[in-house]
């Protein structure tokens, strides 16, 4: 299970120069017309499209090497086990974890956070301990902590954001003066695009004697994340936003913490011995992967990481930011547009509203132009409350987006203004 990371990295030493037009051809859905028009997919922050390499890997996992893992002595089961374990090693190398067993496969990022809140939270936190969150968390990084509050009596402290969408670092420092045992903080806001100063946030949490969980859902697909350098205690991300299959997410945890945590779910595959009197549990990561996992999904996520590692992530990021900032500039030039999220450091998404139309109406009109955006609260209702709105329109950019997508968005917005303005 714990293959050395250099085995997983060996295949990707020569990089393919990143060319968005050529990369677009790797994603079959992008060639699919919508209402007879070319698709402009601007909803990667919700879930990314899949390259053919991922689709093939999932198909082959079922069509060529399929069997249940970790159990069979026969050829196919061993092949499937090897592929599953190799996927973990590839992903561990991608985020520079110390070892593959620090990564737990989950259904999604939500399950990863629930796992920590339930397992770590109930064992190590008690009444009166404080958990610090930010006002810009996704609901997935709020509700599990509320459940923990209701179960054990921890206190939740929320660090506010300002009107640009920046985290109020002074309030964070003040919050850490309390009896803080855990910080749960986003690396990049899915509603505003804010990239938080996470290295400093982690350092301050540790200086205050607290552990920290980082929600990296919106960061891992776009920029190199080095978990050893960051030194977060827990770090979660979604596989499906990383160009991998749905039903995949990852929890990274420092080995000593995972080792000390009790199981989250129990049953097959996560035990060492079972008698009716007593059960002993397997080592991590198996201890946290009860039952048959999403074998093909994990293999597909490994293929997604292989796909990304052909490129230099810095080139992908530079391209995505160029397109996103181009779209932002065009939107800013329109009087009626109000942009939400103007932090100094931000990722490749733009959240905005129009005076004349509701986000859902904007989304519907854009849809008829084959421009796929997200409209609503983006599972971040406290952010919407901060700005006194019910929702925004969010255009989010992945590696396959180009300025043509941004131009289609702007043309669609002009159409909305003609209709509603």
Alpha helices in 153-209, H assignment, sequence order: 169-175, 198-207
- Binding of residue 373 to ligand PLP (CB under 6 A): no
Look at residue 337 and give its three-state secondary structure: strand
Is residue 209 packed enough to be buried (19+ CB in 10 Å), middle (13-18) or exposed (0-12)? exposed
| 135 vs 215 by CB, closer to ligand PLP | 215
**Residue 289 · residue 271 · CB < 8 Å:** no
Virtual CA dihedral for 378, 381, 385, 389, nearest 10 degrees? 40
Phi, psi dihedral angles at 125 (to 5 degrees): -110, 150
**Residue 356 Cβ vs ligand PLP, minimum distance, rounded to whole Å:** 28
Which is closer to ligand PLP, CB of 157 or CB of 186?
A: 186
Shortest distance in whole angstroms from residue 331 CB to ligand PLP: 21
Q: According to the binding rule CB under 6 A, does residue 253 interact with ligand PLP?
A: no
Number of residues that bind ligand PLP (CB under 6 A): 15
392 is a contact residue toward ligand PLP (CB under 6 A): no
- Residues designated catalytic: 379
Beta strands in 38-164 (DSSP E): 40-41, 103-106, 130-134, 155-159
Using the minimum distance from each CB to ligand PLP, give the nearer residue, 339 or 379.
379
Question: CB neighbours of 119 closer than 8 A, spacing ≥ 6?
Answer: 261, 262, 263, 264, 288
Q: How many helices (H) and strands (E) would you count in the chain?
A: 16, 15
To the nearest 10°, report the CA torsion of 198, 264, 80, 73: 140
Question: From the list 42, 69, 91, 109, which residue makes contact with ligand PLP (rule: CB under 6 A)?
Answer: 109
Question: Looking at 84-92, 97-105, 214-222, 262-270, which segment touches ligand PLP (CB under 6 A)?
Answer: 214-222
SS3 184: strand
Find the binder of ligand PLP among 57, 95, 140, 232 (CB under 6 A).
Answer: 140
One of 20, 100, 249, 293 touching ligand PLP (CB under 6 A): 249
- Choose between 12 and 300: whose C-beta lies nearer to ligand PLP: 300
Verify binding: residue 217, ligand PLP, rule CB under 6 A: yes
Q: What is the contact mask toward ligand PLP in residues 147 to 176, using x (rule: CB under 6 A)?
A: ------------------------------
Closest separation between CB of residue 109 and ligand PLP, Å? 4
Minimum Å gap between C-beta 199 and ligand PLP is 18
Task: State how far the Cα of 304 lies from the Cα of 126, in Å rounded to an integer.
Answer: 39
Q: Which of 65, 166, 215, 289 is close enough to bind ligand PLP by CB under 6 A?
A: 215
Contact predicate 260/104, CB 8 Å:
no
Farthest CA pair distance, the chain = 72
Q: Quick one: which H or E segment has residue 180? A: strand 180-186
Measured from the CB atom, is 216 or 285 closer to ligand PLP?
Answer: 216
190 scored as a contact of ligand PLP (CB under 6 A): yes
Interface residue with ligand PLP, options 218, 351, 392, 402 (CB under 6 A): 218
Piece in contact with ligand PLP (CB under 6 A), picked from 215-223, 271-279, 331-339, 411-419: 215-223
Binding residues for ligand PLP, per CB under 6 A?
46, 108-110, 138, 140-141, 186, 190, 215, 217-218, 238, 249, 379
């Amino acid at each position: 299970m714990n293959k050395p990371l250099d085995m997983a990295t060996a295949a990707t030493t020569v990089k393919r120069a990143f060319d968005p037009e050529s990369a677009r051809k790797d994603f079959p859905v992008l060639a699919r017309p919508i209402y007879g028009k070319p698709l402009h997919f601007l909803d990667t922050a919700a879930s990314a499209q899949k390259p053919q390499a991922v689709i093939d890997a999932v198909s082959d996992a079922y069509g060529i090497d399929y069997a249940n893992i970790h159990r069979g002595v026969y050829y196919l089961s061993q092949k499937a086990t090897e592929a599953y374990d190799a996927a973990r090693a590839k992903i561990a190398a991608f985020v520079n974890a110390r070892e593959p067993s620090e990564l737990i496969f989950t259904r999604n990022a939500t399950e990863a956070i629930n796992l920590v809140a339930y397992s770590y939270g109930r064992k190590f936190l008690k009444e009166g301990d404080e958990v610090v969150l930010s006002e810009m968390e996704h609901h997935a990084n709020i509700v599990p902590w509320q459940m923990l509050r209701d179960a054990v009596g921890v206190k939740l402290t929320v660090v506010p954001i300002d009107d640009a969408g920046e985290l109020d670092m002074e309030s964070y420092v003040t919050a850490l003066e309390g009896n803080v045992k855990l910080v749960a903080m986003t690396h990049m806001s899915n509603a505003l695009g804010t990239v938080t100063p996470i290295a400093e946030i982690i350092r301050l949490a540790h200086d205050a004697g607290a552990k920290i969980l980082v929600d990296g859902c919106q960061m891992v697909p776009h920029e190199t994340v080095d978990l050893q350098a960051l030194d977060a205690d827990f770090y979660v991300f979604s596989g499906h936003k990383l160009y991998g299959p749905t039903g995949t997410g990852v929890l990274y945890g420092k080995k000593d913490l995972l080792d000390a945590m009790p199981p989250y779910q129990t049953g097959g595959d996560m035990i060492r011995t079972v008698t009716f009197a007593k059960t002993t549990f397997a080592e991590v990561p198996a201890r946290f992967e009860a039952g048959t996992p999403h074998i093909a999904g994990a293999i597909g996520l490994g293929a997604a990481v292989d796909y990304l590692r052909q490129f230099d992530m810095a080139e992908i990021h530079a391209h995505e930011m160029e397109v996103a900032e181009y779209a932002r500039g065009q939107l800013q030039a329109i009087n009626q547009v109000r942009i939400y999220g103007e932090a100094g450091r931000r990722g490749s998404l733009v959240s905005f509203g129009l005076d004349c139309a509701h986000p859902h109406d904007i989304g519907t009109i854009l849809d008829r132009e084959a421009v796929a955006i997200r409209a609503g609260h983006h599972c971040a209702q406290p952010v919407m409350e901060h700005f006194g709105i019910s929702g925004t329109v969010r255009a989010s950019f992945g590696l396959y987006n180009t300025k043509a997508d941004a131009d289609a968005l702007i043309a669609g917005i002009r159409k909305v203004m003609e209709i509603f303005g």
